[in-house]
A and B are shown apart, each in its own frame.
Chain A
């Protein structure tokens, strides 16, 4: 098939097969020389009709690899070297007819042959000349032949009879010669036209070829079944293969595996003429297992040759656009995640993923600065699906990096993003581990907030790649935004923790806490308050709380304190009696504190309500106990007093009795008294001694009565004796 299709002449284009950039034509410098005058070095103004112009075309080309120097010569016809000089050859050609005519004339005159016999020979000579497109020569030769015929006829026969024949012969000669000459001239003109057309076509063809070659997009032709027919230099360079090599391949062979089915489907549709044009962004397989993103257009160009359909393939390298798109999309994705995520833990997988996906890296790792440990710790990783990096990015590896260690450590130290195009040629200490899993290139950028590096994100890829300044700039920007985001997250988290702590204190406090508005209404009450008073929120708000406020004001009035809503009751406590929802009565201690707003005016009150029922009951019991103790003490004191009194009475009785005993016995002892007196005194002494003895007996009886050992001695008693005795003693 291919041999029937036009192929582009390749002569003269001096581009070496391996040159990645095709030469570009800058200008033509063209000079045309006439072959005859070339000896005099005189250029003629145009090509003569029957002479081929000797054209020498110097093609100046630009070749970036060769300093822009021109080279190559094209196109045009090579000078015809080694032929007989045309001047000599033309002279011979011009003389020969005359020589022939002269010879025939000589023979005819010599032999006396009639002119009729010589005529065909003359005709032959004239026809021969007529075949060349040279009117002058023909006229000269024709004239010479006519003259010869006329002379022969006149000399051999009678001039009158033969002159008519001779004139007829001359006329025939003239007509035949003119006709032949005209035919030859027409033929020559036709030939010239055809040749001019061919040159023109060739020139168009050449221009097309040059256009195709010079195109900045990859162009090619494929047959209906997808075979390459034509490939321009750009496309071949893009694919990283020689053209000859590609000519053996199919279009779908150069498409990356992921897009191959897609392209094959499109080719099928084009072949079935369901569509005339197909366009899509696909990946092509480049050299060294790279992928080139291209915008691929396949168009059917076979309208004029329905029997031989073929397709124009147009591939525009969009890797630069893709790269910029990728960077832009990465920034967009980063900002989106930052805006929507609540915490760094939530955001980090999405962020690392968007770096890998949009910028075509295989692995992303987030290292965070451990302030106390002075090193970097691997926090999160993300790897491309199917990249077999699961083991490599296991955070359990518990990796740490010190300041200045490796790429990541250096980025941390300097706070500036950095890259390694090829880990293979590097002393990066981790490089061995990364090379083992096939990672070849790396870039790392710092996460910065308030001028401090708080972490580093490292991107690793399996391809050797050049990281340009634009990417570094973009990653640095992202790093600052992420750093600020992390800072915000940490601040927000601390705030949330603090709020949660306060909330927990409020909610779980064993003390009831009520937030009270300016009108004394309950804004909020914690669960302890509701539980304490056994009310739900609504009842609490509508009934229990107003009751409680009234009780507070009454109690405050008794304690000469301001009511709850007057002034600023600060940290003053009153105790009130309040009924719970289930009818129990509680003692509540209420302490109010005013909470000022930002301008210092009291915005609302915080009232702490504490169930002090147990305390109050305990206090009451203690008071009771104290009272009863006091009573007991009084009894004891009374008892003590009674005892003292008793002792006093008893000792008084004893001493009274002893006064007589001692006094009279002293009188008797000292002597000098009458016997009668002694007897009387002895009687006194005896009576008092007896009295003492009875006193002792009574006391012992008392003791027996107290200890319950009193034994009753039953006997008849004269009551009069007892009474008179008592009366005697009482006096």
Chain B
């Protein structure tokens, strides 16, 4: 399990990466840290909810298919507590209907796996920049 890392430079924005796949965790952490975000990592839904409520990340990158609580349920709980918290669903469920389903469930954006690294950074940038704009 990755430890929460201190924020550096860029707007000291915090991104919570909730994914049960270790490869995906490492990839996101590597890319987002490089882009200057603080990265928290959760390996399942419950952990993601706890971390989100405890650390108040700016953006949550949430996988859907996770053991225990899935990403959608976790998102609903987080949104119930912190409605302003931005959640990006990053799922390998990539059918057209899935995207609609996730948006309808309250996602602020949807990122379909596999994704371009530039797209990941752009989504997070757009969501973290928003409150300041």
Give the interface of A toward B (CB within 8 A).
Answer: 648, 651-656, 658-664, 666-667, 670, 684, 687-688, 730-731
Contact = CB atoms under 8 A, between A and B. Distances in A.
A655 B64 CA distance: 13
A660 B20 CA distance: 13
B131 interface: no
Contacts of B93: 648, 652
A652 B98 CA distance: 12
Contact of B114 (A662, A687, A730): A662
5 contacts: A655-B112, A660-B21, A662-B116, A663-B114, A664-B23
Interface in B82-96: 91-95
Interface stretch (B9-17, B24-32, B48-56, B71-79): B24-32
A730 B117 CA distance: 26
A651 B94 CA distance: 8
Sorted from nearest, which 4 A-B pairs have the closest CB atoms? A655-B92, A660-B23, A659-B114, A662-B114
B27 A656 contact: no
Nearest to A683: B23
Contacts of A655: 92, 94, 112-114
Nearest to B98: A648
A661 B27 contact: no
A209 to B, nearest CB: 150
A659 B94 contact: no
A659 B95 contact: no
Contact of B92 (A652, A667, A684, A730): A652
Contacts of A652: 65, 91-93
B4 interface: no
Given A655-B94, A656-B24, 19 more contacts: A655-B114, A656-B21, A659-B21, A659-B27, A659-B115, A660-B23, A662-B115, A662-B116, A663-B114, A663-B115, A664-B23, A666-B116, A667-B27, A667-B30, A667-B117, A684-B26, A687-B23, A731-B20, A731-B67
Contacts of B21: 656, 659-660
Nearest to B93: A652
B78 to A, nearest CB: 23
B113 A659 contact: yes
Nearest to A664: B27
Contacts of B67: 730-731
A652 B27 CA distance: 18
Given A652-B65, A667-B30, A659 B92 contact: yes
A183 B117 CA distance: 210
A663 B27 contact: yes
Nearest to B20: A731
A659 B27 CA distance: 9
Nearest to B28: A663
Given A663-B27, A667-B30, A656 B116 contact: no
Contacts of B92: 651-656, 659
Contact of A658 (B65, B114, B116): B114
A691 B110 CA distance: 25
B94 A660 contact: no
Contacts of A654: 92
Interface string B95-132: 10000000000000000111111000000000000000
A661 B23 CA distance: 9
A687 B115 CA distance: 18
A658 B113 contact: yes
A659 B24 contact: yes
Given A655-B113, A667-B31, A648 B95 contact: yes
A680 to B, nearest CB: 8
Nearest to A666: B117
Nearest to A677: B30
Nearest to A691: B23
Nearest to B43: A731
A660 B24 contact: yes
Contact of A684 (B23, B94, B95, B115): B23
Contacts of A687: 23
A390 to B, nearest CB: 104
B120 to A, nearest CB: 8
A348 to B, nearest CB: 95
Name which of B20, B23, B95, B115 has the most chain A CB atoms within 10 A of its CB: B23
Contacts of B31: 663, 667
B65 A660 contact: no
A647 B95 CA distance: 10
A731 B43 CA distance: 10
Name which of B20, B30, B116 has the most chain A CB atoms within 10 A of its CB: B30
Name which of A656, A658, A661 has the most chain B CB atoms within 10 A of its CB: A656
Nearest to A672: B34
Contacts of A667: 27, 30-31, 117
A629 to B, nearest CB: 28
A656 B91 CA distance: 8
A653 B91 CA distance: 11
B117 A663 contact: yes
B47 to A, nearest CB: 14
A688 B95 contact: no
Interface string B32-68: 0000000000000000000000000000000001010
Contact of B23 (A666, A670, A688): A688
B62 to A, nearest CB: 14
Contacts of B114: 655, 658-659, 661-663
A147 B91 CA distance: 221
A654 B112 CA distance: 13
A670 B23 CA distance: 18
A661 B21 CA distance: 13
Nearest to B113: A659
B122 to A, nearest CB: 14
A656 B21 CA distance: 8
B92 to A, nearest CB: 4
A624 B26 CA distance: 59
Contacts of A730: 67
A688 B31 CA distance: 19
B44 to A, nearest CB: 10
B7 to A, nearest CB: 22
Contacts of B26: 684
Contacts of B117: 663, 666-667, 670
A305 to B, nearest CB: 153
A656 B22 CA distance: 11
Nearest to B94: A655
A654 B93 CA distance: 10
A655 B93 CA distance: 8
A406 B2 CA distance: 136
Name which of B30, B94, B95, B114 has the most chain A CB atoms within 10 A of its CB: B114
Nearest to A684: B23
Contacts of A658: 113-114
Contacts of A670: 117
Contacts of B116: 662, 666
Contacts of A660: 21, 23-24, 27
Nearest to A685: B23
A64 B94 CA distance: 146
A249 to B, nearest CB: 138
B124 to A, nearest CB: 14
